[in-house]
Amino acid sequence: MTECLFCKLVDGSIPATKVYEDDKVLAFMDIMPLTKGHTLLIPKAHHASIQEMPPEEAAHLFSVAPKIARAIEDAFEPHGLNLLNNNGAPAGQSVFHFHLHFIPRYNEKDGLKVSWKTKEKEFSMDDFAEHAKEIQAKLS
């Protein structure tokens, strides 16, 4: 038996409050929700990160995401919705099975504080061009 918590949800060895399921993905209620309706969407196959997921599995997961988002919106009428993936320990990932959070937002006191501290003064347009080239070189 696997040690991965989410793989145990997929194989049924521990229960999940399911929202959606097909042969490739599972969506379920987060047991440590930030807000009403906080839902997770995972691939059934174990992949620790987005980088490990085959493109066809990622495409399917992200094709289901709008359906989950619309259902949350219709069910709870939140004022907004955060989609969040913590990818790797430095980004805050604690369960190392790829998962996408759907966090309905109701007001500024609903449990999630997102703060953007941009660094636009640290990078020039030349830096952006160089960064783009470095990424492009790894795409081939």
Quickly count: other Cβ atoms within 10 Å of residue 40's Cβ. 23
For residue 104, tell me if it sits in a domain: yes
Residue 13 counted as domain residue: yes
- Position 115: which residue type? S
* CATH number of the structural domain spanning residue 109: 3.30.428.10
pTM: 0.91
- Name the stretches of the chain with pLDDT < 70: 1-2
Residue-level pLDDT at 111 = 79
- Residues designated catalytic: 99
When computed from its CA atoms, the radius of gyration of the chain, rounded to whole angstroms, is 17
Look at residue 115 in the predicted model and tell me its pLDDT: 83
Identify whether 133 is part of a domain: no
pLDDT at 114 (0 to 100): 80
pLDDT in tens, 3-38: 899 999 999 999 999 999 999 999 999 999 999 999
Domain with 69 in it = 5-113
**Three-state DSSP state, 37:** coil
Distance of CA 82 to the CA centre of its chain: 10
Q: Is residue 119 part of a domain?
A: no
Q: Which residues on adjacent β-strands are paired with residue 25?
A: 43
